Amino acid sequence: MADSAPSLHTTPLHDAHEERGARMMAFGGFEMPVQYDSIIDEHLAVRNDAGLFDVSHMGEVLIQGDQALALVQHLVTNDAETLYDGRAMYTVMCTPDGGIIDDGIVYRRAEDEYLMVLNAANRERDLTWMHDHNPMGATLRDISADTALLALQGPKALDIAQPFLDDDLDDLSFYHFWERTGGAFLDCETALISRTGYTGEPGLELYVPADRARDVWTTLLEAGADRGLKPAGLGARDTLRLEAGLCLHGNDITEDITPYEARLGWLVKLDKGDFIGREALRQIHEHGPERKLVGFVATERGIPRHDDILQSAGGDAIGVVTSGTQSPLLDAGIGLGYVPNEPAYTEPGRALQVASRRRTFDVEVTEPPFHEDT
Flag whether 274 is in a domain: no
Residues 236 and 168 in one domain: yes
> Going by DSSP bridges, is the β-strand pair 50-54/229-232 parallel, antiparallel, or unpaired?
parallel
Predicted confidence band of residue 31 (pLDDT cuts 50, 70, 90): very high
Between CA 98 and CA 92 the distance in angstroms is 10
Flag whether 132 is in a domain: no
Decide if 368 contacts 245 (C-beta within 8 A). Answer: yes
Q: What is the mean pLDDT of residues 28-54?
A: 98
Residues 164 and 232 in one domain: yes
Q: Containing domain of residue 358, as a range?
A: 290-366
> What mean pLDDT value characterizes the chain?
97
Q: What is the mean pLDDT of residues 267-272?
A: 99
Binding residues: 205
Residues 162 and 235 in one domain: yes
Residue where one domain finishes, among candidates 211, 243, 275 = 243
Decide if 25 contacts 34 (C-beta within 8 A). Answer: yes
Q: What is the mean pLDDT of residues 21-26?
A: 97
Predicted confidence band of residue 323 (pLDDT cuts 50, 70, 90): very high
Work out the percent of the chain whose per-residue pLDDT is above 90.
97
Decide if 56 contacts 11 (C-beta within 8 A). Answer: yes
Please, is 37 exposed, middle or buried when counting C-beta atoms within 10 Å of its C-beta (0-12, 13-18, 19+)?
Answer: middle
Between CA 38 and CA 238 the distance in angstroms is 13
Neighbours of 248 (CB within 10 A): 18
pLDDT at 4: 53
Report the 3 state secondary structure along 105-172: EEEEEECCEEEEEECHHHHHHHHHHHHHCCCCCCEEEECHHHEEEEEEECCCHHHHHHHHCCCCHHHC
Flag whether 211 is in a domain: yes
Longest pairwise C-alpha distance within the chain: 64
Predicted confidence band of residue 178 (pLDDT cuts 50, 70, 90): very high
Flag whether 19 is in a domain: yes
Name the DSSP class of 359.
-
pLDDT at 358: 86
Output b/e per residue, 169-195; b: 16+ Cβ within 10 A.
beebeeebbbbbeeebbbebebbbbbb
Residues 236 and 307 in one domain: no
pLDDT at 374: 41
- CATH classification at residue 306: 2.40.30.110
Residues 300 and 234 in one domain: no
Q: Give me the helices (H) in the chain, please.
A: 14-19, 39-48, 68-75, 123-132, 157-161, 213-224, 234-243, 278-287, 343-346
- Does 5 have pLDDT greater than 60? no
Return the closest-CA partner of residue 199 out of 158, 248, 145, 238: 238
Predicted confidence band of residue 3 (pLDDT cuts 50, 70, 90): low
Flag whether 191 is in a domain: yes
Residues 31 and 173 in one domain: yes
Flag whether 83 is in a domain: no
Between CA 34 and CA 27 the distance in angstroms is 9
Query: CB within 8 A of 340, min separation 6: which ones?
Result: 290, 291, 292, 318, 319
pLDDT at 1: 43
Residues 201 and 342 in one domain: no
Predicted confidence band of residue 357 (pLDDT cuts 50, 70, 90): confident
Residues 239 and 167 in one domain: yes
| Long-range contacts of the stretch 277-282 (C-beta < 8 A, 24+) | 277/77, 277/94, 277/95, 277/96, 277/97, 277/98, 277/99, 278/77, 279/96, 280/94, 280/96, 280/97, 280/98, 281/77, 281/94, 281/98
Residues 153 and 47 in one domain: yes
- Does 181 have pLDDT greater than 60? yes
Name the DSSP class of 76.
B
Decide if 39 contacts 233 (C-beta within 8 A). Answer: yes
Binding residues for substrate: 205
- Does 373 have pLDDT greater than 80? no
Flag whether 360 is in a domain: yes
Q: Render pLDDT for 52-69 as a digit per residue (tens, 0 to 9).
A: 999 999 999 999 999 999
pLDDT at 371: 80
Into how many domains does the chain fold? Answer: 2
Return the closest-CA partner of residue 285 out of 299, 266, 298, 307: 266
Residue where one domain finishes, among candidates 243, 259, 279 = 243
- CATH classification at residue 239: 3.30.1360.120
Flag whether 77 is in a domain: no
- Does 2 have pLDDT greater than 70? no
Neighbours of 85 (CB within 10 A): 12
Residues 235 and 154 in one domain: yes
Residues 52 and 150 in one domain: yes
Between CA 259 and CA 303 the distance in angstroms is 26
- Does 303 have pLDDT greater than 70? yes
Q: Is the pTM of this model over 0.85?
A: yes
Residues 195 and 295 in one domain: no
- Cis peptide, bond prior to residue 369, ω within 30 of zero: yes
Work out the percent of the chain whose per-residue pLDDT is above 70.
98
